[in-house]
Structure 1
Amino acid sequence: MVQMLNSLSLLLLLLPCIAYKVDTTRCTVRESPVPHEWYQPGDFLIGGIASQIIYHFHKLSFEDISQDLYDIPQMVTNFYQHILALAFAVNEINMNPKLLPNVTLGFHIYDSYYDDKLTYRTTLDLLFKSREYFPNYECDNQKRLMATIGGLGGDISFHMADILGLYKIPQLAYGSFSLLDGDKTKSPPFYRMVPDESYYYMGLVQLLLHFRWTWVGLLAVSDDSGEYFSQVIEPLLSQHGICLAFTERILNRAHWNDMFDILNFISNSYRPFEESKATTFVFYGESRTLIAMLVFIVLGNSDLKGNTFRKVWIMTAQVDFSLSSLQRSWGLEFFHGAIFFAIHSQDLLGFRKFLKTIKPYWTQGDGFIKDFWEQAFDCSLPNSQGPSKIDGTCTGEEKLENLPASAFEMHMTGHSYSIYNAVYAIAYTLHALCSSKPIHRNIVSGKRKSCHNFQPWQLHSVLQHISFNNSAGETVSFNDKMEMEGSFDVMNLVMLPNKSFHKLKVGKLDPNALQGKALVIYEDMIVWQQSFNEVLPLSVCNDHCHLGYQKKKKEGEKFCCYGCAPCPDGQIANIMDMEDCIKCPGDQYPNKDQDQCISKTITFLSYAEPLGIGLTSVAVSFSLITLSVLAIFIKHRDTPIVKANNRDITYTLLISLLFCFVSSLLFLGQPRKVNCLLQQSAFGTIFSVAVSCVLAKTITVVIAFMATKPGSRMRKWVGKRLTHSIILLCSLIQAGLCTWWLVTCPPFPDLDMKSLNTQIVAECKEGSVIMFYSVLGYLGLLSLITLTVAFLARKLPDSFNEAKFITFSMLVFCSVWLCFVPTYLSTKGKYMVAVEIFSILASSAGLLGFIFSPKCYIIMMKPELNTKGQLIRRRNS
């Protein structure tokens, strides 16, 4: 392992000899200078690798690099603010007497040119003051480079780390990118001035869920970071019910070597834009990838332009809406209304004023400003070297604030803010080291010697624990992963008529917030594309399932593509796109549209409703009739027709029938505990007494007939003892059953929520179903016995033979209760109670009518027949 590391170190250290034409005997290097650099001397130097120059050249080796081979550079002019932020921070620190007193900071900035080889070369240039050096030898005039800031993208940062890691020079990356697993072991770690981009992966999902965008397209840069992003985000989207309509890769370049690359990319990527129903596109890549995307849009089919305007773009934090001078005339109208995550930033006091002082010749060391000024203002500076393709001469009085935002922003961007904080982090680290090192006098010169003997590797122990408040009042510190603590801003891109734009803050993503509150969106502040008729754009595979409908899967389609089916009976869907309908609680029921639950009303057979009034009237009427019959029989108690069949049994039967009619009223009204206890037990006992009386009367007729025969032994049974015994015995059996029922499992009031969909039925629960049907069964058995005896005795010769009438009455009685059971079981709610009341009234009326109406007719209408002589005459006949 040590041998491999030594070999790698030797290879990297020999790169300068490969990159330059080296005379090893004189330790001199003769090579073409890199055209863009900015050097400001100081006691301690901060290096910087920016990313803003794009050269169009063919494949070159290190030996071929010369300025003569370069075309005119294309500059991402907005990124010029990055190096201005570094210079502003250094100058601000140098003017601060409390921070690094007696020590000046300097800087040396190069560009990466978005090229791997040139990144290695410019990083090596940062390590040495002069260009006369030999690898592995340190000269007296070597730079005092203490730390380096860069790069913007992951590839640039890792290329820098390959070299800086060997020298243990702290590197502070200011771009947002993901640390791939392979990259973590590829080189020593570096400090990151922004939170890891993986923090906003979940924020991206929450953003899509907030707007209910479930059918989206994914456009990712075609490199390792884009592949990693796709591998992470696709399952994350799927877990939260979001589908990808398509996934496309965008070339990882800000330019192409020939038209073949352009045409090939357009032909492969145009179809998803044209045919996809997705309105929302998630874009992952850096600003140069955005430039490539813009080239594709502009050079694509003309029909695509209109479609693209009807898209909502979701951009990741790596993107700055910046264009090179070639694309600046196109503008960014295609991305109007885009929502993007941005590295958090704050406007700093003095920075805008500092930008207003920038002029073409404001400093001699700035090697970037010439190209920036000419390309930003589309003019040519006087005395510019080399041919210029730009018409017009710059006056030098142009103002940065007059440039559109795509060319240059006066507000500090997130990347510039990260660079500003990085400079201060280095300064506070040096200040901490200087404060801990004693200052002494040089014995020879007598001058005070300050802290100038630090090595870059000594900064690590302090830098990773540094914490301070910047001029904006925000705390700057690193976590244990060497990442800056912080948040992301959610921004909205609003295009202006002059091709400039405004970034409107519409939310915040705080990785350290409580779960579920990391993302905050101010929806009312968002400006959408004007072509959207809706207040909120939709991006779904199909129309939403409305309230009252549930999703229905489509075979062969992604789960985001579905049909809609009405909710089953008794269920609702109160939210759009519900997977399954839900049942209402027991005391509620669905409304007509099945989108909400309505409270059920409690229902019972009330005295006040028409059905209750009718049944009450019938019960009272029959009760009065029974009382009238009883009064007639008492008044005519000494007449033969009353005395013929035992007056006591007749009175008992009439009184029991009276109570039968009255007991039906117990079933009316809201069920109470007392009502429930009395309903079935009173009904069963009273009816048993009534039927027992009928049985006793029938048996009396039979015994009386049999006793008239000569020598009959039945004469001893004639009398009241037998009849009273029959009534008492039959009634006590039923009373015993009812008592056992009330003691073991009595009826109780209950609310039936299931029988009816829209009502809660207040009812008396039987308590024990077995006892309920036992009482009914015993009553039925008693009725059948009575019917049988009456049927057998119907033709016995007697002037006032009641057996015929009892037979008819018992036929009615049994018919009513035989029909009662199926009818009772087939009805629900209060109508079950009505059926039982009707059965009580009908069966009682049958007994009353068929047994007593003939007698009442004779007593009241035919009194001449109610005589002893008539009774004997009819018997003899």
Structure 2
Amino acid sequence: MIFAIAEINNSTELLPGVKLGYQIYDTCVSVIKTAHVAFQMMNGQDPMFYKDSNCSQSDVVMAVVGDSGSTTSISLSRIIGPFSIPLVSYFATCACLSNKQEYPTFFRTIPSDQFQADALAKLVKHFGWTWIGAVRSDSDYGNYGMASFLAAAQREGICVEYSESFYRTDPRRKIQKVADVIRRSSAKAIVVFTASGDMNVLLEELAQDPPSPRQWIGSEGWIIETYLTRFSFCAGAIGVGFQQSDIPGLREFLLDLSPTKVAASPLLTKFWEDAFKCKIEKSSNPETGVCDGTEDMEHLKNPYTDTSQLGPTNMVYKAVYAIAHAIHNTICMEKNITTLCDKGTMLTSKQVLKKLKNVNFSRNGYPVSFDANGDPVAFYELINWQKSESGVIELVTVGYYDASLPKGQEFHINRNITWVDGGTQVPVSVCSESCLSGTRKVLQKGKPKCCYDCIPCPEGEISNTTDSPDCFPCPSELWPNAQRDACFPKPVEFLSYDEVLAIILAAFSVSGACLAIITAAIFFHHRTTPIVRANNSELSFLLLFSLTLCFLCSLTFIGAPSDWSCMLRHTAFGITFVLCISCVLGKTVVVLMAFKATLPGSNVMKWFGPPQQRMTVVFVTFIQIIICTVWLLLSPPFPMKNLSTYKEKIILECALGSAVGFWAVLGYIGLLAVFCFVLAVLARKLPDNFNEAKLITFSMLIFCAVWLTFIPAYVSSPGKFTVAVEIFAILASSFGLILCIFAPKCFIIIVQPEKNSKRHLINKK
């Protein structure tokens, strides 16, 4: 402060021709002493430390620089505030002092703890510490600062395991209680918002039984204090400190001490004697010599002579200059290129207060200004306690926090950080480990939101981020992978030719068609024999042709459904089967009519000769063609993706279009089959040697049994097995027809040709 005032008094630009005086008091960090000092300043009763005969109104205080503590600054501001005397603090950081309704005359060159709290919360969040302990001084600085930090931490999603407060004058059992809470806690990161004196007391207590490694996160109140680095278990501590800077000329000013100046000041005398281990006056202690004036300040190595990095000192420097600029703006004015100051102006503290609100200048490259709350722009350095090669803990600046930058860009790290125990990996301090992708968080009952269990996502849902609060379902055509952290296209399922089941069914289908063709070839080769002629060879060949088509139409059910295959498979199946049943029906009617015609006077056969048989087959088949045509025109089958049968895969199948059309086709086939079966039953007692009616009865019995069991199997079979059931029904009924009707005849033709005679056919047992 003295150095800054000396610079100003010697300046030709700031307050030229005007000298500033000052008076220095010590509040001793005591509210009672602060109040006493405040009243002394107001009354102007104490002698001045510096006084010149040219001072005008020397007993009136224009502004006050101080105090260092928030509590004492509150007391001081409440006393001098009603008199409009501005108070510019260099180290009081309590956010409460930004309240202009309570403290209208308070300013500070150090940022408010609100900014510090935000910076600490962002720091904790940046390194992923979501489970922390909180310790604070039981003072305005600690209580208000921690309250601001906890609010900021809550916004950042950080949970606090415990929050303890203490003061250095508390009974030891209170300090021990706080230390025991730290030792027992599960949180590995501890945010400490204390003054350096309080922190010293706590660390001394912890040093008696050091806790397991903890990551200390400190406020500026103690993180920048080098004397605390003697506690080695705090190595790796990190926190925010005020911007360090060099004040040009200050070192030379401090070193300019002569024995005469030292002897004139009790404070300097004590400093000199402690620094050089000597006494200004004759010493009674033989081990301590008398200072002889040869002591060299240049070679003195202690904090007093180290002015390379100054924090609070620089804040004092800014505060003095801020007041000087306010006075300058009040009594000085620019005229041409000359600055003229009216030394005779009756200056009041109210005028200084008004101008102080608007000061805006730079000193040594650092800007100084105040916002509406009397606070400067917040800028913090990120301080890390790092062990040097010699084992000494040093304070290293590893980054900064600039509140003037856009949101999200305030915090920067530009140097490697050393963590607890000298590690290079960021320590972990969480209540619960992060939930991996594929799981979701479920909060533990009665615990903070940072304590949770990780539950796997349910079937069909995924989470693709860590610590996801919810799982979400995949789109309808996608399905989660095994880890349930990504959606992939569902496999598409249909009865493919690559599958064993499809190959077997296709083999039976082709075999059945070949069997029908071979049977037709046998019949054609023996077409002149009695057994072929007696069994209505024309209808037999047509029946074998329709059976060949029945076998082959089952192939249309295999493969990926398309618009044409869906329409073809159902209509081809319906028409070929009706053609087949109509041929069987014609053969049955022929058998019945043949034996009716043997009765005397009967001319039935002329009404059911070959032309009528052909017309019957065409008519019966034409009805099915009409049904299929109407079905295709109104609502034809079409390919569709079935997403409901299976959750994890897509069934590619043919939708019926119109269910009425499908069941009409099946119903018509069933009606013909039943009718044919009834006629065959009526003809079952015909002569045994002519057994085609009996064979038709068996074939129709098999046919009806197959299709009656097909209905429930078709409805209940899932996915591609629905198609397999339909193919099986087609093949089973077709094989039933060809084996029951044609196998016995082929056996006689090939194995027992002697029975293939007219005599044998008309012989009655």
| Class of the TM-score when normalised by the shorter of the 2 chains | 0.7 to 0.9
Q: Which residue of 1 aligns with 2:356?
A: 463
**Aligned partner (choices 373, 391, 395) of residue 481 of structure 1:** 373
Q: Which residue of 2 aligns with 1:115?
A: 30
Q: Would you say the 8 A contact 1:506–1:525 is kept in 2?
A: no
Report the Cα distance in structure 1 between the residues aligned to 2:673 and 2:90, rounded to whole angstroms. Answer: 100
CA change 1:481–1:238 in 2 (3 A) is: closer
3-state DSSP class of the match of 1:111?
Answer: coil
Report the Cα distance in structure 1 between the residues aligned to 2:710 and 2:40, rounded to whole angstroms. Answer: 106
Q: Which residue of 2 aligns with 1:163?
A: 79
Task: Give the letter aligned to residue 236 of structure 2.
Answer: G
Q: Which residue of 1 aligns with 2:51?
A: none
CA change 1:657–1:544 in 2 (3 A) is: same
Deviations 1:178-219 (A, max 9, x none): 434996543325234344433454554444444333332121
Report the Cα distance in structure 2 between the residues aligned to 1:478 and 1:602, rounded to whole angstroms. Answer: 69
Deviations 1:140-199 (A, max 9, x none): 542565433333333222222113322323333334634349965433252343444334
**Aligned partner (choices 514, 521, 526) of residue 417 of structure 2:** 526
Task: Give the letter aligned to residue 214 of structure 1.
Answer: T
Report the Cα distance in structure 1 between the residues aligned to 2:416 and 2:337, rounded to whole angstroms. Answer: 60
Q: How far is 1:350 from its partner? A: 3.0
Q: Would you say the 8 A contact 1:476–1:484 is kept in 2?
A: yes
Q: Which residue of 2 aligns with 1:852?
A: 742
Report the Cα distance in structure 2 between the residues aligned to 1:639 and 1:554, rounded to whole angstroms. Answer: 91
Q: Is 2:45 the counterpart of 1:147?
A: no
CA change 1:408–1:617 in 2 (3 A) is: farther
Task: Give the letter aligned to residue 188 of structure 2.
Answer: T
CA change 1:184–1:567 in 2 (3 A) is: same
Report the Cα distance in structure 1 between the residues aligned to 2:716 and 2:12, rounded to whole angstroms. Answer: 97
Question: Residues 619-658 of structure 1: matches in 2 within 5 Å?
Answer: 619-637=509-527, 639-658=529-548
Task: Give the letter aligned to residue 418 of structure 2.
Answer: V
Q: Would you say the 8 A contact 1:161–1:171 is kept in 2?
A: yes
CA change 1:129–1:692 in 2 (3 A) is: farther
**Aligned partner (choices 384, 398, 402) of residue 492 of structure 1:** 384
Q: TM-score, structure 2 length as denominator?
A: 0.82
**Aligned partner (choices 676, 679, 693) of residue 803 of structure 1:** 693
Q: Would you say the 8 A contact 1:494–1:504 is kept in 2?
A: no
Report the Cα distance in structure 1 between the residues aligned to 2:687 and 2:258, rounded to whole angstroms. Answer: 142
Q: How far is 1:646 from its partner? A: 4.4
Q: Which residue of 2 aligns with 1:683?
A: 573
Q: Would you say the 8 A contact 1:698–1:786 is kept in 2?
A: yes
Q: Which residue of 2 aligns with 1:663?
A: 553
Report the Cα distance in structure 2 between the residues aligned to 1:373 and 1:761, rounded to whole angstroms. Answer: 94
**Aligned partner (choices 195, 199, 208) of residue 290 of structure 1:** 199
Task: Give the letter aligned to residue 574 of structure 2.
Answer: G
Deviations 1:800-858 (A, max 9, x none): 44333333333443444444455555555544444433333333333333233223333
Task: Give the letter aligned to residue 501 of structure 1.
Answer: E
CA change 1:179–1:661 in 2 (3 A) is: same
Report the Cα distance in structure 1 between the residues aligned to 2:705 and 2:300, rounded to whole angstroms. Answer: 103
Report the Cα distance in structure 1 between the residues aligned to 2:588 and 2:247, rounded to whole angstroms. Answer: 116
Report the Cα distance in structure 1 between the residues aligned to 2:344 and 2:521, rounded to whole angstroms. Answer: 130
Q: Would you say the 8 A contact 1:400–1:410 is kept in 2?
A: no
Deviations 1:417-467 (A, max 9, x none): 4444444444444444455476999xxxxx985585543322444433443
Q: Which residue of 1 aligns with 2:52?
A: none
Deviations 1:612-634 (A, max 9, x none): 44433333333333333334444
Deviations 1:505-526 (A, max 9, x none): 2453646523x5554556x822
Q: Is 2:236 the counterpart of 1:337?
A: yes
3-state DSSP class of the match of 2:382?
Answer: strand
3-state DSSP class of the match of 1:281?
Answer: strand
Task: Give the letter aligned to residue 272 of structure 1.
Answer: V
Report the Cα distance in structure 2 between the residues aligned to 1:234 and 1:588, rounded to whole angstroms. Answer: 44
Q: Which residue of 2 aligns with 1:248?
A: 164
CA change 1:636–1:215 in 2 (3 A) is: same
Q: Would you say the 8 A contact 2:85–2:105 is kept in 1?
A: no
Q: Which residue of 2 aligns with 1:60?
A: none
Question: Residues 59-74 of structure 1: matches in 2 within 5 Å?
Answer: none
Report the Cα distance in structure 2 between the residues aligned to 1:802 and 1:685, rounded to whole angstroms. Answer: 24
Question: Residues 151-230 of structure 1: matches in 2 within 5 Å?
Answer: 151-175=67-91, 177-180=93-96, 185-224=101-140, 226-228=142-144
Q: Would you say the 8 A contact 1:401–1:410 is kept in 2?
A: no
Q: TM-score, structure 1 length as denominator?
A: 0.73
Q: Would you say the 8 A contact 1:177–1:318 is kept in 2?
A: no
Deviations 1:565-603 (A, max 9, x none): 544444455555544455455555444455555554444
Report the Cα distance in structure 2 between the residues aligned to 1:213 and 1:363, rounded to whole angstroms. Answer: 53
Q: How far is 1:276 from its partner? A: 1.5
Q: Would you say the 8 A contact 1:332–1:499 is kept in 2?
A: no
Report the Cα distance in structure 1 between the residues aligned to 2:560 and 2:196, rounded to whole angstroms. Answer: 76
Q: Is 2:292 the counterpart of 1:383?
A: no
**Aligned partner (choices 509, 513, 534) of residue 406 of structure 2:** 513
Q: Is 2:237 the counterpart of 1:321?
A: no
Task: Give the letter aligned to residue 762 of structure 2.
Answer: I
Task: Give the letter aligned to residue 277 of structure 1.
Answer: S
Q: How far is 1:339 from its partner? A: 2.3
Q: Which runs of 5+ in 2 are unaligned?
A: 49-54
Q: Would you say the 8 A contact 1:312–1:337 is kept in 2?
A: yes
**Aligned partner (choices 817, 838, 858) of residue 728 of structure 2:** 838
Q: Would you say the 8 A contact 2:333–2:341 is kept in 1?
A: no
3-state DSSP class of the match of 2:25?
Answer: strand
Report the Cα distance in structure 1 between the residues aligned to 2:515 and 2:466, rounded to whole angstroms. Answer: 64
CA change 1:440–1:674 in 2 (3 A) is: closer
Q: Would you say the 8 A contact 1:360–1:396 is kept in 2?
A: no
3-state DSSP class of the match of 2:397?
Answer: strand
Q: How far is 1:544 from its partner? A: 5.0
Report the Cα distance in structure 1 between the residues aligned to 2:258 and 2:709, rounded to whole angstroms. Answer: 109
CA change 1:359–1:142 in 2 (3 A) is: closer
Report the Cα distance in structure 1 between the residues aligned to 2:539 and 2:20, rounded to whole angstroms. Answer: 126
**Aligned partner (choices 238, 242, 245) of residue 347 of structure 1:** 245
CA change 1:98–1:675 in 2 (3 A) is: farther
Q: How far is 1:278 from its partner? A: 1.5
Task: Give the letter aligned to residue 529 of structure 1.
Answer: V
3-state DSSP class of the match of 2:63?
Answer: strand
Q: How far is 1:494 from its partner? A: 1.9
Task: Give the letter aligned to residue 504 of structure 1.
Answer: T
3-state DSSP class of the match of 1:110?
Answer: coil
CA change 1:664–1:575 in 2 (3 A) is: same
Task: Give the letter aligned to residue 157 of structure 1.
Answer: S
**Aligned partner (choices 401, 404, 412) of residue 309 of structure 2:** 412
Report the Cα distance in structure 1 between the residues aligned to 2:385 and 2:224, rounded to whole angstroms. Answer: 9
Q: How far is 1:281 from its partner? A: 1.2
Q: How far is 1:751 from its partner? A: 4.1
Q: How far is 1:859 from its partner? A: 3.8
Report the Cα distance in structure 2 between the residues aligned to 1:722 and 1:392, rounded to whole angstroms. Answer: 149
Task: Give the letter aligned to residue 492 of structure 1.
Answer: N
3-state DSSP class of the match of 1:264?
Answer: helix
Report the Cα distance in structure 2 between the residues aligned to 1:392 and 1:754, rounded to whole angstroms. Answer: 100
Q: Would you say the 8 A contact 2:381–2:397 is kept in 1?
A: no
